[in-house]
Amino acid sequence: MLNIFFRVDSSSEIGSGHLMRCLNLANSLSNNKIEFICTNHEGNLTNKVIELKYKVNIITKTENTWLGNKWEDDCNETINILKKCNIKTNILLIVDHYSIDHIWETKIKPYVNKIMVIDDIHNRKHNCNILLDQNIYLNNNPYQNLIPNNCKLLLGCKYVMLNKYFLKYKYRLAIGILITVFAKFLALQVPQLIRQSVNIPLIIQERKRVNNLAYRISQAPIQPAWHGLPAVHYSLHRFGFQALHHAG
């Protein structure tokens, strides 16, 4: 059994996406010991974590920033939480936070066995053993020179952290797909989305704008292009987490 800690936040500004994808991953690994470490930002959703019977360790917010504290203070608080748990082995720390980088990770590394980072903007360096990015990539590695040479990369839709509720739709006929994106990602992501959605009617809706961009393509069955959370489990297992099991 692994001792898994998620360092992730949610708030009215950060949103809920980071926390929800971590919960999806946690639910699929529920036969391990799992705890969450979260800052008490305004509008946080830690009550959702508690509803799902996971322990939440709270870091008190002292600054009006995405991290909520100076990075040193946040890291020290996380280390103190790990020490209080009095766990010495099989510690996997999963970090999903845009305000945490290689400096934070390097400081905490002696207190855990392995660090896994969940990211999707590849704008900073990481010092981790595993990096997961479930975005669409066309045979390129956007994390080149941003991670250690021995870091295991899990890139692409086959590692999507999807709620198990949606898995039953995996092989159904696609009538159309509606994708909502932020304006600044529109020009970057739309061409890739179109190439990945051949023969599926696709509508791209730009958030905070009235006009939509519509791409009509002939109807065809969805081809299963990803394996989802089982692929994450398999990759973690292959990387050395022998106690890891799929709970689904």
Q: Which one, of 142, 155, 157, 154, lies nearest residue 188 by Cα?
A: 142
Using CA atoms of 148, 151, 154, 155 in order, give the dihedral in degrees to the nearest 10.
Answer: 20
Helix-strand-coil percent breakdown of the chain, rounded to 5?
30, 25, 45
Helix (H) or strand (E) run with residue 28 in it: helix 17-28
Q: What do you get for the CA distance between the two ends of the chain, in Å? A: 16
pLDDT tens-digit readout, 29-81? 888 999 999 999 999 999 999 999 999 999 999 999 999 999 999 999 999 99
Longest dimension (CA), the chain: 58
Rounded to 10°, the helix 17-28/229-238 angle is 70
**Domain at 3-163+226-238: CATH code:** 3.40.50.11190
CA separation for the pair 59, 78 (Å, rounded): 8
| Domain-wise residue ranges, the chain | 3-163+226-238, 171-221
| List of E strands, the chain | 3-8, 33-39, 55-59, 91-96, 114-118, 130-133, 152-155, 173-174, 177-181, 202-206, 212-215, 220-221
Beta bridge partners of 58: 38
Mean pLDDT, all residues of the chain? 77
Return the minimum-mean-pLDDT range out of 4-8, 132-136, 144-148.
Answer: 132-136
